[in-house]
Structures are given as C-alpha cells and as structure tokens.
Amino acid sequence: MIPVSGQALAAARKPLWKMRHSWSWWSIPSLLLLWMLLATQFPSYILPQVWDVAGEGLDWLRSGEIWPHAIASLLEEVGGFGAAIIVSVICGFLAGFYRPFREYLVPINGLFMAIPPIAWAPLMLIIFGIGYTTIVIVIFISAVNPMILTIMEGVLQIQGQEVRAARALGARRWQLFVYVYLPASLPFITAALRIGFSQAWRALVAAEMIGASQGLGWMVSTGGEIGNSRQVLLGIVLIGTFSYLFERLLFRQIEKRYEVWRLT
Amino acid sequence: MQTAESSGGSDLVIRDLHYSYDGNLPIFTGLDLQVQAGEFLAIIGPSGCGKSTLLNLLSGFASPERGRVQLRDRVIRPEDPGLGYVFQRPNLFPWLTAIENVEFGLRMSGMPAAQRRQRALHYFQLVGLAGFENYLTTRLSGGMQQRVSLARALALEPALLLMDEPFSALDAITRETMNDELLRIWDTLGQTVIFITHEIEEAIYLADRIVVLARPPAGIYRSHGNELPRPRSSQTTKTSPLFWEYKKRLIGDIAAVMRQQPVDDAELVEMGLSVATDHA
Ligand SMILES: Nc1ncnc2c1ncn2[C@@H]1O[C@H](COP(=O)(O)OP(=O)(O)OP(=O)(O)O)[C@@H](O)[C@H]1O
Ligand SMILES: [Mg+2]
C-alpha cells in the first residue's frame, strides 16, 4: 500500500556496526539499579527488591492468574482505542475537508479536551455499572478527541500543490483520496495513533482503579488496598511493558515506512 | 464568426476574459487570445502580471468571472487527459520514487503496470535522469526535481501542454539542453504548448509567437510572430540577425510595460534588462 520502493528504504538503513553508540541503552538499567539500591533501605513489604517482584510475576504466571487481568485490559484497550480510531479517522478527515463540519466540531472537541477523561468514570459507573462497557467508554472519550484534532490538522496541512499536481495528472475524486490524501496523511495518522493509544492506556488504568473487578489497573489498586507492594509494582511494570511493546512493535514499524520521505 | 474560427483551425480560444482574486484588484479585464492547434506560444511579462493566473484559468483550476476559455468548444477541466501542466515549482509526491512520480498520471488513467513503466522510463531518460529512477524525490536537486516534473507531464502525451516558467530553477547549461529536448519532443508529438518565461532569449528560441503581458489589468501589450526557421539550434538560431532583431523589440516592449508603473531596478535586472534602461 505504501508505495516506497524497497531499494529506497534499504538505502536509508545503516548496518548495525555503523550505528552510533546510543546512551539509551543505559536508561532502563540505571533505573533498575537505583530501585535495587533504594530497596536495600526499606523492609521488603514496603519496597520489595527487583527479584522479589520478578518472583511475584512468576507466581502469577505459574498459577495462570495473570491472564484474565492482562486479557481484560487488552480487550478494553482494543475496544475503546479501536472505536476511537474509526471515529477519529472519519471525523478527522471530514473536519479537514468540510469547513462547516470543522467549525461545528472544534468547540465540542475543545470541551472534551478540557475535562480529564477519568472524570467521566463515575457517571459511566452509575449508568453502566462495573465492567467492560464503562471502561471502554472512558477510554474512547480520552483517545478520540486528541486523535480527531491531530488528523484534522494534518489534513489541513496537506499541501494544495500536491493535490493540484495530482488533478492535473488526471486524478479523480476517489483517486485523489487513495493516491494523495492517504499517503500524505500517513505521518499524522501515525502520530494520532500514538497519542490515542497512550491516552487510552492511561485512562484505562485509571478507570480500572475506580470501576473494575479485574485488569492491570485493578491489580495495582487492590494491591495497594491489601498492602501488597509486590503486586502493585508488578502491575506497574506490566502496564509499562505493554505500552512499550505497542510503541516498538506497532507504531515504530509504521513510522519507519515513511520516515525516509518525510520532509526534512 | 464561430464557423470562421473553427475553419481557421483555431484550437484554444480565450474571449473577453475577466478575472480578479476575491473581487480585489482585477487581473484581467477582457483578455482575448487564440492559440492554434500545435502552436508553440510563449508568454512573457513582469513578475506579478498574471501569467500563472492565466494558466490557472486555462487549465480550469480557476473559473473566469466573465468570458470564456475553451478548447475546441469545450470548457477545460484540470483532470482532462489531454492537458499537461508543468508548475512553477516541481510539486512532486515525496512518498513516491522519481520514476513512480512520472508514472502517476498513467496510473490514474489505468494503464497496465508494465506498459506504463516503459513509457515513464522513456520520458525519464528523455529529460536526462537515467539512473535516478528509484531515488526519492527529496533526494534530488532542485533542477532534477523540475525535470521529473516535466517528464511527469510529458508522459501523458497531452495535446495541450501548459508550462509555468518550467526551467527558471535550472542552470544555464541544463536549461539550454532542456530547451532543445523540449523542441525535439514538440517536433515529434506536435502538442500545443503555452510556455511562460522570464527569459526573452528562451521565448524567442522556442516559440512561434510571443505574447507580452502588461501589468494588470492591462492584459496583452503586444504579440510578436516569430519567423525564425525550424529546426532551430542554439548555434545557428541564437546568432542569426533576426534573433537579435526580435530580442531588441522585446526588450523595448518590456521596458515600455515596466514603465507603465513605477518599478524598482531589481525587477528590471530580473527581467534580464540593464538598470541603465531609461526610466522616464
Ligand atoms: N491566491 C491569490 N490570492 C490573491 N491574489 C493573488 C493570488 N495569486 C496571485 N495573486 C495576485 O495576482 C497577481 C498575478 O499573480 P501571478 O501569480 O499570476 O503572477 P505571475 O505573472 O505568475 O508572476 P511571477 O512571474 O512572479 O510568477 C499578483 O499581483 C498577485 O498578487
Ligand atoms: Mg507565476
């Protein structure tokens, strides 16, 4: 779909041994080291050691207890974020193309952006009760608004010159969309996905802490309630890891496809 | 009158053209121009006199406020396959490679992949870019980008080719080669070409007729037929007495056009005129 040839991509890639040494390799290990040092100063039930938390994780894995929580969180994320992708792409493009719709949408968008999404959680709890629906709706609200805004502004930025060139080359309405607007919008659609995903993930954890009976956020909050700091830290590590994996495995990969041509 | 025109082989007709941007200062008030099929017309005039605007009206990107612009009795749309447009800037698609840019128009018209690659390669080589097929356009120099843009328009083999200062970003040597290439292509394909330029010599070298445009809203200042024999070549054409005669006339015209309103010297220099030209 993305019409950048393999050769052009390969030319932009450097072999491993020519890559600059990156200090980023030190950031996570140094943080772990700090944790270990701090943990020596506290009793284990307050601040457990790294390996204690790892052990806790193994226990959860072995008993299989971890899966319902991880899966619940992922399903909620998929539901809320997925719906937000569909709605924001449609609304973002419409708002980018049609001024009346844009004028109508922008204030609504601004209103929702001004309210921290988690503030909707209690209302959703009253309406839908504890469970999937409540959390998905909170996630959706938190992700969809910044995504619409990002896509709309991206569409507005697509250069009229490229569209003119395509029209002069015979591109009709739908061809313009497929061959110009779509590839030209890839960079900011990825940006929107990124923003949306992280907003949704934050909202998910927060919402689970308020109104859920399972999930990673629930692990953290119940861990806190029963004074199990290992469980709390395990939850935090998992939340961070999932987020990191999505970033690396999904968004980074999409971005690589166009970073060669993005105007420098 | 209509029939008289058609029998004369008139191709592109502009009648009583009125245009202004958002009702501001009018750019054209009653412009008339006819271009024969297969004619090579050059339009020359000071910066801001409305040359790009005229091409926008010709291509259908803009619509006249009054009057008509027609190609063989039909209103022109930008999407028409018979129309090619080389813009003042390259306007390439940065997500495509150079050769894919040249293929773009053929792809829109649904030509099979193998055939369109072959055609694209032909024009790609014609503009002297062989070897750069798979480069991303952001990795090409400005002049090379402009040549991709030329090949992209040519690949459709349009019957009407609009060119807005297509070579102004090129160095003198490349420019000369491009001029020769353009003449050769025009010889074989026989399109109607409307070529906008700042360069008097370029206009004389290329065109059958040269229209001098005055500052808005005055419209056409004068039209010069160009009797220089074809085929033309830099060596013989640009040294012939007739060439210098035309050049003298055009310099005179442009100086006159410039004098219609106060201008600064920098603009005269840009037109290839010495500042010494009298300002009275
Ligand atoms: N989009 C626009 N909106 C309003 N005015 C415009 C617009 N484009 C051009 N103009 C005005 O119209 C006039 C003619 O512009 P145009 O671009 O056609 O000039 P030009 O002859 O092509 O100049 P150049 O040689 O510098 O390219 C100028 O005075 C300019 O200020
Ligand atoms: Mg112009």
Return the CATH number at B269.
3.40.50.300
d(CA A162, CA B164): 16
Q: Are residues B14 and B125 in the same domain?
A: no
Q: Is residue B77 part of a domain?
A: yes
Q: Are residues B182 and B275 in the same domain?
A: yes
Q: Is B62 on the interface with A (CB under 8 A)?
A: no
Q: Are residues B129 and B262 in the same domain?
A: no
* pTM as predicted: 0.77
Q: Are residues B26 and B133 in the same domain?
A: no
Q: Ligand 1 in contact with B166 (CB < 6 A)? A: no
Q: Are residues B135 and B271 in the same domain?
A: no
Q: Are residues B125 and B255 in the same domain?
A: no
Q: Is residue B180 part of a domain?
A: yes
Q: Are residues B235 and B208 in the same domain?
A: yes
Sequential DSSP letters for B181-227 = HHHHHHHHH--EEEEEES-HHHHHHH-SEEEEEPSTTS-EEEEEE--
Q: Are residues B98 and B193 in the same domain?
A: no
Cβ(A207)–Cβ(A135) below 8 Å:
yes
Q: Are residues B111 and B38 in the same domain?
A: no
Q: Is residue B190 part of a domain?
A: yes
Q: Is residue B2 part of a domain?
A: no
Q: Ligand 1 in contact with B57 (CB < 6 A)? A: no
Q: Using the beta-carbon criterion (under 8 Å), do A263 and B59 form an inter-chain contact?
A: no
pLDDT per residue as tens, chain B (280 positions): 333 344 344 589 999 999 999 877 889 999 999 999 999 999 999 888 899 999 999 999 999 999 999 998 889 999 998 999 999 999 999 999 999 999 999 999 999 999 999 999 999 998 889 999 999 998 998 889 999 999 999 999 999 999 999 998 888 888 898 899 899 989 988 999 999 998 999 999 999 999 999 988 878 999 999 999 988 988 889 899 999 999 999 999 999 988 876 445 555 555 555 444 443 3
A139-183 confidence digits (pLDDT tens): 999 999 999 999 999 999 887 889 999 999 999 989 999 999 988
Q: Is residue B4 part of a domain?
A: no
DSSP state of B136: B
Q: Are residues B195 and B233 in the same domain?
A: yes
Q: Is residue A17 part of a domain?
A: no
Q: How far is the CA of B214 from the centre of ligand 1 (A)?
A: 13
Q: Which of B115, B132, B157 is the last residue of a domain?
A: B157
Q: Is residue B3 part of a domain?
A: no
The pLDDT value given to residue A248: 86
**What is the number of domains present in chain A?**
1
Size of interface A-B (CB pairs under 8 A): 87
Q: Which of B157, B179, B201 is the last residue of a domain?
A: B157
**What is the number of domains present in chain B?**
2
Q: Is residue B5 part of a domain?
A: no
Q: Using the beta-carbon criterion (under 8 Å), do B95 and A2 form an inter-chain contact?
A: yes
Judge whether residue A12 has pLDDT over 60. no
Q: Which of B157, B178, B207 is the last residue of a domain?
A: B157
A70-117 confidence digits (pLDDT tens): 999 999 999 999 999 999 999 999 999 999 999 999 999 999 999 999
Q: Is B78 on the interface with A (CB under 8 A)?
A: yes
The pLDDT value given to residue B39: 95
The pLDDT value given to residue B210: 96
Write down the residue that tokens 């015979």 correspond to: A170
d(CA B131, CA A194): 38
Q: Using the beta-carbon criterion (under 8 Å), do B91 and A179 form an inter-chain contact?
A: no
Q: Is residue A158 part of a domain?
A: yes
The pLDDT value given to residue A261: 67
CATH assignment at residue A194? 1.10.3720.10
The pLDDT value given to residue B261: 60
Strand partners, B19: B28
Residue A137's domain comprises 67-216
Q: Is residue A134 part of a domain?
A: yes
Q: Which of chain B's residues have a Cβ under 8 Å away from the Cβ of A255?
A: none
Q: Using the beta-carbon criterion (under 8 Å), do B105 and A264 form an inter-chain contact?
A: no
Residue B43's domain comprises 10-82+161-279
The pLDDT value given to residue A2: 41
The pLDDT value given to residue A51: 93
Nearest Cα to B270, choosing from B28, B40, B44? Answer: B44
Of the ligands numbered here, which is closest to the C-alpha atom of B21? Answer: 1
The pLDDT value given to residue B25: 81
Please give the order of strands across the beta sheet that includes B26-36: B26-36, B10-20, B66-71, B74-75
Q: Ligand 1 in contact with B27 (CB < 6 A)? A: yes
Q: Ligand 1 in contact with B47 (CB < 6 A)? A: yes
